[in-house]
Structure 1
Amino acid sequence: MCVEETIGVTSGITTTPHIPQQRGEPPLDHAVRYAEERHWDVFPGTWLETVEGVPRCTCGETDCAHPGAHPANRRWSGDATGSATVVRRMWTKEPRASVLLPTGRTFDAVDVPETAGCLALARMERMELSLGPVTCTPDGRMLFFVLPGGAAKIPGLVRKLGWAPGALDLTARGEGDWIAAPPSRLGTRGSVQWARRPTASNRWLPDAEEVIAPLAYACGRDAATSRHQG
């Protein structure tokens, strides 16, 4: 997985400085930190519970697409809050709830395959581009945080670069959507992690236009490699 501990730049080798993760902290601490330090809205989602030795999503669906990390009800947009007081109250009721962030408010997210994301991240770091936080999910995706409104721009930006939007495994999460944040656990595959964690230096997010070229290029290269191998 292309996570923070294994990415950066040293003598031409792609790696980033080691920044320790807050391992072992309960979801509540992470949720409060996102609300207080980043002013992100957060809301609790489903979680995993073990039933007869088998981890299952609390939604009860045996074929759940996002086991353990998705909205628990249709009211999730209204439940999302940036109040640390409310956040504490919600996670006190259910400490195991996953930590979810609505997109389209303080940020949008560009969603790409992990292989393409790692390639693009290394290239953008070499180019010293301004980058926001980046998550890496256990199902092989990376999400790059950009300014709100980026999701609406993505299709047009991709076309300008010479690709049909549907030709690349690149999507955008904007208004009305959500993402799972660290340390939310996704099924038995592991937890969402930071490839680039939120820091004071990346508080100001890039516009989608600033990151779309390297991301689209990496996705195009990834697609070409997959076709060749297939």
Structure 2
Amino acid sequence: MFIVEETIAGADAVQIPKQRGESLLDTAVRYAEERHWDVVPGTWTEVVDGVYACSCGDAACSAPGAHPAEPGWADLATGSASAARRMWQKQPAASILLPTGRAFDAISVPETAGLLALARIERMGLTPGPVTLTPYRRTEFFVLPGAAAKLPDLLRTLGWTASSLDLAVLGEGGYVAAPPTRVGRHGAVQWARRPTRENRWLPDAEELVPSLAYACGRDR
């Protein structure tokens, strides 16, 4: 259940739900069943003699326990709850990866800018889609697919370029790690805004980019 909340100072005291009580298997099945998101198991975090390591075996892994486990991962992604259950029954510790460019794209910005933008968006009366917080201090906003193609023109209209802001879009061929995936010793991915009935209909990128660009510009 996504029920325990803590308050992060700043950004108008945005509430950050923590996850507890659900296995990765149950959560992956629920994403497929309730949100109709494609899911695919990735690598997982192992602890050997008190040291966190990625199941891929690379001691220098940049995303330990939170990246695709094999080259053909995109073809294995499924929106079937029963298929997802079978996948995680084989490897219950596997991370939950959500391919982007299918049900949604994800706009990634620094955590501070993301929380500032989130507060601004909600003050404007807009409903953001689900938003994650990663252990690498990034916020990822779920929006309708196609955001990657729209972003350059949207930013140009606002007087920015993508290269001038720490703002990126994960679209076709990409993925995000979903809560409660753990990223090595860094911690777990969390929901800043969890999936609910109210945000089932995702916003278009053009609804959020002005606030995200403004916040990124302030955070430079």
Range of TM-score over shorter length: over 0.9
Question: Is the CA contact (8 Å cut-off) linking 2:12 and 2:119 kept in structure 1?
Answer: no
Question: Is the CA contact (8 Å cut-off) linking 1:4 and 1:194 kept in structure 2?
Answer: no
Aligned equivalents of 1:164, 1:37: Cα separation in 2: 37
Match in the other structure for 2:73: 76
Aligned equivalents of 1:43, 1:13: Cα separation in 2: 35
1:62 deviation in Å?
A: 1.0
Match in the other structure for 1:147: 144
Whether 1:54 and 2:51 are equivalent positions in the alignment is yes
Whether 1:195 and 2:192 are equivalent positions in the alignment is yes
Aligned equivalents of 1:22, 1:33: Cα separation in 2: 14
Match in the other structure for 2:42: 45
Deviations 1:183-223 (A, max 9, x none): 00011111000000000000000000000000000001001
Aligned equivalents of 2:59, 2:152: Cα separation in 1: 34
- Kindly, what percent of the aligned residue pairs are identical? 64
Corresponding residue pairs, total: 216
RMSD: 1.8
Aligned equivalents of 1:53, 1:185: Cα separation in 2: 16
Deviations 1:4-27 (A, max 9, x none): 63269xxx95444x86x4403110
Query: Which sections of structure 2, spanning at least 5 residues, go unmatched?
Result: none
Whether 1:157 and 2:154 are equivalent positions in the alignment is yes
Aligned equivalents of 1:90, 1:97: Cα separation in 2: 9
Query: Which sections of structure 1, spanning at least 5 residues, go unmatched?
Result: 224-230
Runs of 4+ deviating beyond 4 Å: none
Whether 1:36 and 2:37 are equivalent positions in the alignment is no
Task: Report the TM-score when normalising by structure 2.
Answer: 0.93
Q: 1:107 to 1:56 in 2, by over 3 A?
A: same
Q: 1:14 to 1:49 in 2, by over 3 A?
A: closer
Amino acid across the alignment from 2:142: F
Aligned equivalents of 2:19, 2:84: Cα separation in 1: 19
Question: Is the CA contact (8 Å cut-off) linking 1:4 and 1:196 kept in structure 2?
Answer: no
1:54 deviation in Å?
A: 1.1
Question: Is the CA contact (8 Å cut-off) linking 1:110 and 1:145 kept in structure 2?
Answer: yes
Aligned equivalents of 1:56, 1:130: Cα separation in 2: 38
Deviations 1:63-108 (A, max 9, x none): 1111110000111100100001100100000000000000000000
Match in the other structure for 1:227: none
Task: Report the TM-score when normalising by structure 1.
Answer: 0.89
Alignment of 1:87-166 (within 5 A): 87-166=84-163
Amino acid across the alignment from 2:32: A
Question: Is the CA contact (8 Å cut-off) linking 1:7 and 1:195 kept in structure 2?
Answer: no
Whether 1:218 and 2:219 are equivalent positions in the alignment is no
Match in the other structure for 2:171: 174
